[in-house]
Chains A and B, each alone.
Chain A
Amino acid sequence: MEKKIREALRYLGYGRNAADDRTYALIEDAFANLKKEAGPRSVSRIFDMSRTEDGRILIGKMNIESRSLSRNLAGCSQIVLFGATLGAGVDRLITRTSLTDMAKAVVVQACAAALLEEYCDECQLSIGEELRKEHLYLRPRFSPGYGDFDISYQEPLMRMLDCAKTIGLTMTDSYMMTPTKSVTAVIGISPVEDRCPVEGCEACDKTDCAYRR
């Protein structure tokens, strides 16, 4: 089974259970509609990073206190700031579908999340390929809100990537990304090749999360 379908089922709460034909039909339909409405875009920039004596992480003007991010970036002296979005068309599709059929709406929502993850994985792989030529390797991507990496870092991160201008990604006053199907992340660049470079979920400390793989 395609990974993004498996992921969509996971978001829908199926866990390892098999879904029925009608749910599969909804999933197929949802991916078809998403294909029409999604305008995936991404932006990434490489920055130097350093650490203060008390373990804070410095990236440009960002001064971050986060043990989980710190652990994730152990041994790195550069990072990639990454932003990606599926665009506002997907939000409209979800709103529109919610008005006419909630079963379809939850499936579109789950499929959009799966599509976004797939897109981020692809972007990350291609960034990683470039760096590999220089014998540099990517760590799993780590987003504001994971572990103790405070969500408020979303703001400077998006400013440093100029997300509004480059990919049309903005943030509300309560740090929610708009369009909603979007991701921002810090990806460590390490001279040592280790661990799975793509998947983000395992890197998260929130072990009681209902959606953990």
Chain B
Amino acid sequence: MILERLGKELLFFDGGMGTLLQEKGLEPGELPETWNLTHGDEIEEIHRAYIQAGSDIILTNTFGANALKFHDDGFSLEEVVRSAIQHVKNASRDAGNGREIYTALDIGPTGKLLKPMGDLDFEDAYEAFKEVMILGEQAGADLIHIETMSDTYELKAAVLAAKENTSLPVFATTIFDERGKLLTGADVPSVVALLEGLRVDALGINCGMGPDQMFPVLEQFLHYTSLPVIVKPNAGLPKQRDGRTVYDVSPEEFALDMQRIVEMGACVAGGCCGTTPDHIRKMTESCRGMKLQPVTEKNFTVVSSYGQSVFLGEGSKIIGERINPTGKKRFKQALKEHDLDYVLREGITQQDNGAHILDVNVGLPDIDEPALMKEVVQELQSVTSLPLQIDTVDAVAMERALRIYNGKAMVNSVSGKQESMDKVFPLIQKYGGVVIGLVLDEDGIPADADGRVRIAEKIIAEAAKYGIRKKDIVIDALAMTISSEPEGAKVTLETLRRLRDEIGVCTVLGVSNISFGLPCRPVVNAAFYTMAMMNGLSAGIINPSSEDMMKAWYAFHALMNLDANCERYIGKYAPIQSEAKASAGTMSLQAAIERGLKEDAHNITAVLVQTQAPLDIINSQLIPALNTVGDGFEKGTVFLPQLLMSAEAAKSAFAVLKEKMDKSGEVREKKGTIVLATVKGDIHDIGKNIVKVLLENYSFDVIDLGKDVPPETIVDTVLEREIRLVGLSALMTTTVVSMEETIRQLREKAPWCKVMVGGAVLNQDYADMIGADFYGKDAMQSVHYAQKLFGTES
């Protein structure tokens, strides 16, 4: 078993395959995996050469063998994988000389980008990996080696597929650049956090760079990981010579650098692109017998996303609490209406205000929480790189979110109740994560610090049974309001201090509970927040839009020398002094909108509503302003950014008016409901979003189905809501096909519904050809068409 030797003695991988195949005649763009069946002898010859050069682990020629990348009508995936493994087995038998040679099923990326940035579904990627891995295990692979991964999300799909469908050891390596980042932006600690959370057996780096360029990245790996590290560099950086790609690090230089790499602490060494049996022979000759650096346990508490990692225990981190319906009418409404944009904006605002992690809670009665949680987590990760904190009591929702999450999530929460621990810990064990432990159990919340610390110890001990380490637990010391618990704050603070000093565990607190039932709560909250940080609070769950809380946070870090040269503090508060507030006193609302002044429009409206009726303001100021700008746009004197600045200004004015009207029960008559969508296969939605903003300005209700929308979804929505007008957008000739299909289905199932279309490749002829009712060459055209159709032209 390879695991008995891993980390105890130096093991050697083989070297490059692709470059050798090209020398043997593989053409650019040809699938190397077909060679397992067409040129089996050549493949075995390469394997044999590596075994003779001293490799212990041989990779099968299956890097691109997955259903998404491997399209060859001649051969099945099963034939390819079986023959690939057989070639390694044959070579081991012929050249192994009785040495134990391990057959590693080589798994490379699919070549597709996962949703939401690309079009490959996470579970489809998972299925593609799963298929090959099951075939590989059946055919006799000794381990699975996932390599050259540049996207943490795809990496997660691959590792999960291996863990859930095979019992083989899993190695995983990623491709870093000289800046120490993956192509998709992840840094070393976030990759380590993800892979350790998913419990791979060894991890590391391959490809991308030559051995000496890898030193700094390797150093980071060794600093952060508690697992054995694999290093497989290229033979230098690729260069072009006579139309060929060449690598110019010689076997001797390679061996010397690899020696250094083993000295630094790598446990498994090999080569990638451009390395040959000669490189591997020199490496094994000069490194064999070297003593390994011991693999040691590291103690970082870290959560990550696809693009960044956040360390708890360094200063105090801010967990934004606003994505949560509790006590928020508007948020509840957004969840019920499936208004995800509202939820996403809450996330963006908190990030802009300084949050490090975002708590995500979408639990409401009568809502499909698991489905919504999964969707919100995925959508949030398309707009923010902050790590997320999955906040739910629903185990199904928790699992769905943890599975789909790109990174190592924070989980809120487990308690000292046995039932809770039985439910939550298996999920953390499987998906990884940093879990918040609440200091309460079957007997409730202990009134004193002793009791709370005891529960924390119980949680940590129970977690250990699942192999979950203390560093992956953060204890919530629980704040009880001082209006009913006079000693509440003192007990919480003592608990925090003892957890830090005696138990050595990170801590978290929902800070604002402390003032429940008191007037002027921010005063108490901010003071308590400072005291809690002083007693070791690793992360506060707070509202980052609360100025009092943020002032306390910035001041604390400046005071405690956690903010070098008070830079953050100065950056935050110095500009405020100089910022002179422009006076909006003399401008009319109409002028503010025409000039596209969003904040002024908002402020002026707020003053106006005190004396005028909202509908009067709309008719006398807003509509004339919109008409002026719209006319200008059509005459060519106003341009798109100006049109949209005015639209945004109008929107901010409408928001004020709507609030007022909601209070008085007054209703602004809606002109009609329009469905908008970017068609299936198309992922560009900016044009559609422009149309949406303008239609809303002109009092239309818009149901925005988003991008890449299947025809069926559009038809179903039209039927369900009896929609009279649909707007479709497509950017490319390849997606106009879906537009045509959508129109066809609409004609069949909803013949009353009109369809307007727009997008870069469309023109009137094209629109006529696919049977659209109207072609809008710009956004204003679609407004006019909608007005005509609903008979509201003013």
Contact = CB atoms under 8 A, between A and B. Distances in A.
Given A103-B641, A151-B732, A164 B109 contact: yes
Interface in B572-614: 595-596, 598
Contacts of B207: 165
Contacts of A106: 640-641, 644, 686, 690
A28 B243 CA distance: 41
A78 B243 CA distance: 9
Interface stretch (B24-32, B51-59, B502-510, B523-531): B24-32
A192 interface: no
A178 B185 contact: no
Contact of B684 (A19, A44, A102, A180): A180
Interface in A37-51: 39, 41, 44-48
A207 interface: no
A64 interface: no
Contacts of A179: 113, 117
Contacts of A174: 119, 681-682, 732, 734-735, 738
A180 B683 CA distance: 9
A167 B738 CA distance: 29
A176 B29 contact: no
Interface stretch (A67-75, A89-97, A116-124, A196-204): A89-97
A20 interface: yes
A168 B344 contact: no
Interface stretch (B92-100, B263-271, B378-386): B378-386
A114 to B, nearest CB: 14
B647 interface: yes
A178 B639 contact: no
Interface string A161-186: 00011011011111110111000000
Interface in B186-209: 207
A52 interface: no
Contacts of B642: 20, 22-23, 103
A22 B643 CA distance: 12
Contact of B383 (A17, A95, A173): A95
Given A96-B384, A168-B183, A176-B683, A61 B30 contact: yes
B681 A103 contact: no
Nearest to B643: A103
Contacts, number: 166
Contact of A61 (B27, B118, B640, B645): B27
Nearest to A19: B639
A151 B734 contact: yes
A92 B117 CA distance: 8
A191 to B, nearest CB: 15
B681 to A, nearest CB: 4
Contacts of B21: none
A83 B419 CA distance: 54
Contacts of B383: 92, 95-96, 99
B385 A176 contact: no
Contacts of A13: 639-640
Contacts of B240: 44-46
B639 A22 contact: no
Nearest to A105: B686
A5 interface: no
Contacts of A156: 29
B27 A176 contact: no
B685 to A, nearest CB: 8
Interface in A123-170: 145, 151, 156, 159-160, 164-165, 167-168, 170
A176 B117 contact: no
B348 interface: yes
Contact of B645 (A22, A87, A208): A22
A115 interface: no
B307 to A, nearest CB: 8
A61 B243 contact: no
B150 A168 contact: yes
Contacts of B27: 60-61
A38 B117 CA distance: 15
A26 B641 CA distance: 9
Contacts of B118: 170, 172, 178
Interface residues of B, number: 61
Contact of A165 (B29, B150, B596, B735): B150
B184 interface: yes
Nearest to A27: B641
A101 B648 contact: yes
A177 to B, nearest CB: 9
B551 interface: no
Contact of B344 (A61, A78, A99): A99
A107 interface: yes
A32 interface: no
Nearest to A61: B29
B629 to A, nearest CB: 12
Contacts of A22: 595-596, 641-642, 645
Nearest to A94: B686
A173 B119 contact: yes
Contacts of A46: 240, 243
B591 to A, nearest CB: 14
A15 to B, nearest CB: 8
Contacts of A23: 639, 641-642
A102 B693 contact: yes
Contacts of B344: 99
Given A103-B596, A176-B682, A60 B28 contact: yes
Interface string B626-653: 0000000000100111101101100000
B29 A14 contact: no
A165 B110 CA distance: 10
Contacts of B184: 88, 168
Interface string B129-151: 00000000000000000001011
Contacts of B30: 61
A103 B646 CA distance: 9
Given A106-B686, A160-B28, A165 B109 contact: yes
B175 interface: yes
Contact of B681 (A61, A102, A151, A172): A172
A23 B341 CA distance: 25
Interface of B: 27-30, 109, 111-113, 117-119, 148, 150-151, 175, 181, 183-185, 207, 240, 243, 245, 307, 341, 344-345, 348, 382-385, 595-596, 598, 636, 639-642, 644-645, 647-648, 681-686, 689-690, 693, 731-735, 738, 760, 763
14 contacts: A17-B636, A23-B642, A103-B642, A106-B641, A107-B641, A160-B28, A160-B29, A168-B183, A171-B112, A175-B734, A176-B683, A176-B684, A176-B732, A208-B763
Interface of A: 12-14, 17, 19-20, 22-23, 26, 39, 41, 44-48, 60-62, 78, 87-89, 91-92, 94-96, 98-103, 105-107, 109, 145, 151, 156, 159-160, 164-165, 167-168, 170-176, 178-180, 208, 210
Interface pairs A-B: 6 shortest CB-CB:
A168-B183, A103-B644, A174-B681, A172-B119, A178-B118, A103-B645
Given A92-B382, A103-B648, 12 more contacts: A23-B641, A45-B28, A47-B243, A89-B307, A92-B383, A99-B348, A102-B644, A160-B28, A164-B150, A168-B183, A172-B118, A179-B113
